[in-house]
Structure 1
Amino acid sequence: MMSEPSLQVERIGGYLRLTLNRPRQRNALDAALQGALREALEQAASDPAVRAVLLRAEGAGFCAGQDLGEGFEFDGRSAEALTAPIAQGLNPLIQALADVPFPTVCAVNGVAAGAGFGLALACDYILAAEDATFMCAFSRLGLVPDSGVSFHLPRLLGERRALALAMLDEPISARQAEAWNLVWKVVPQGTLDSEAEALAETLARKATKALALTKRAMRSAFAHDLREHLMFERRLQMEAVMTEDMREGVAAFQERRKPAFKGL
């Protein structure tokens, strides 16, 4: 009997639904799942028919982090060898998720911990079920936050809260995460999938190239002073005004109708 794939990949209209499918392992990220996720994201990035991604999980929890059951034999191994799974698996995965040229939505149920927390933070939108909890979980193992966690948390929470969350390893509830602006919205557990799919569908119908440029603008904001950023905004706008969707948007506004964007 063949086992189920650790990642389910489904095209639904204009968006791609990626489902972590290791519920017995709490969807921990082993090498196979990391590779499958990265491959799916890289293929989607070059597919003009894909205009959004929805990341979700099967089972009672979103993702318990990196699978510590593989590759952690300590005897005689160097620090470089022990951290190779980060360089070869987690880092390229987080970068691939950040680089996709369209919106990404993450639907979190249950626990998102460690690298699973990092996976969620790398997405543009996080929808959390009311039972969701988030935690770093690195310090309890004597480790430093990786998977982009130490990059995203200070930007979202400020240094003080980010340090406390990382050092104390206390789980925070979905409602607390919403209050701290870690998640876009908290929804009833029974409606998580339907609301996440509706959001992905809405985003897939928008002017995709403009949204990709918007992501670049927002993510570069802390790297520029105001003068530099104003110039950067104009360069991005020069790309936006040459798209077919921009012309459709203006025409729809003038004709008082809804635009029919094509992602072109």
Structure 2
Amino acid sequence: MTSSVLTDLQDGVVTITINRPESLNALTREAIEAVGESVAEAASTARALILTGNDRSFSSGADLQGSVQNGGLGLDRANEIIRSIIDLPIPTIAAVSGPAAGIGCSLALACDYTVMSEESYLMLAFTKIGLMPDGGATALVAASAGRHRAMKMALTAQKVWAKEAADWGLASLVTPAGEHLNRAQEIAAQWAQGAPLAFAASKEAINTATLTELDDAFDRELKGQTDLRASKDFAEGVAAFMEKRGPNFTGE
């Protein structure tokens, strides 16, 4: 059985690869837990971290079919893992190709630096199935892009392509197609030779100053998602998604 997450450590740089290509790297409970375990191990074994997917997709978000069957992704645990990425003392970089959607968007934005292929995009498509953004996205997007852009992503569910993401402050660097991982590796290699205490202190200071609402956002999103998952609109949104048709939401 192929592992849903691959981990490779070379020259002080750990690369964590989401490895579910058959589903555009949609995340199951098993996969998000494996990411968390790899992140925890990196704190003591690595000097820099890369989080990536494959050329087709960083992550398309939660595995919707598995999420419905198994009672959800385990949002409280997913939140803990996203917080652990932010709190890592080593610098982190997301190398993004294709979609970084839903919880995948949150994972990318939790990293300190985001390298996006020019053909990649960020997306919060939750309202299409009767849900709200989660994984800290309501705070992570707003902290970098501002309230109105966060609202645009949440309410329209539109794709924010790499160039626009960079203009909004959601991406650190845009590369030609297929070059995102190479560039991320170059940057991470430089970090692995840098001053670890200075990196850790800089990260803590900036994150403390800019992500003041993150933990409250986790709590609000968890309550909101719990309530919304019990709604008829969510059931209709999932059914419409599975049947590849437009949903008929009634506000119930």
TM-score, reference length from structure 2: 0.80
| Match of residue 68 from structure 1 | 64
| Match of residue 196 from structure 1 | 184
| Match of residue 52 from structure 2 | 56
Cα distance in 2 between the residues matched to 1:130 and 1:148: 25
RMSD value, Cα: 1.7
What amino acid does structure 2 have at the position aligned with 1:66? A
What amino acid does structure 2 have at the position aligned with 1:36? A
What amino acid does structure 2 have at the position aligned with 1:86? L
Report the 3-state secondary structure (helix = DSSP H, G, I; strand = E; otherwise coil) of the residue aligned with 2:174: strand
| Match of residue 164 from structure 2 | 176
Aligned counterparts, 1:10-49, within 5 A = 10-47=8-45
Counterpart of 1:85 (choices 74, 82, 101) is 74
| Match of residue 216 from structure 2 | none
Residue 122 of structure 1 and its aligned partner are, at CA, apart by 0.3
Residue 190 of structure 1 and its aligned partner are, at CA, apart by 2.7
Structure 2 unaligned residues grouped into runs of 5+: 213-252
Is 2:206 aligned against 1:218?
yes
Cα distance in 2 between the residues matched to 1:191 and 1:83: 34
Structure 1 unaligned residues grouped into runs of 5+: 74-80, 225-264
What amino acid does structure 1 have at the position aligned with 2:18? L
Residue 151 of structure 1 and its aligned partner are, at CA, apart by 1.1
Residue 138 of structure 1 and its aligned partner are, at CA, apart by 0.9
Deviation beyond 6 Å, 4+ runs, structure 1? none
Cα distance in 1 between the residues matched to 2:148 and 2:67: 33
What amino acid does structure 2 have at the position aligned with 1:6? S
What amino acid does structure 2 have at the position aligned with 1:147? G
Residue 43 of structure 1 and its aligned partner are, at CA, apart by 1.2
Residue 180 of structure 1 and its aligned partner are, at CA, apart by 0.9
What amino acid does structure 2 have at the position aligned with 1:26? L
Report the 3-state secondary structure (helix = DSSP H, G, I; strand = E; otherwise coil) of the residue aligned with 1:72: helix
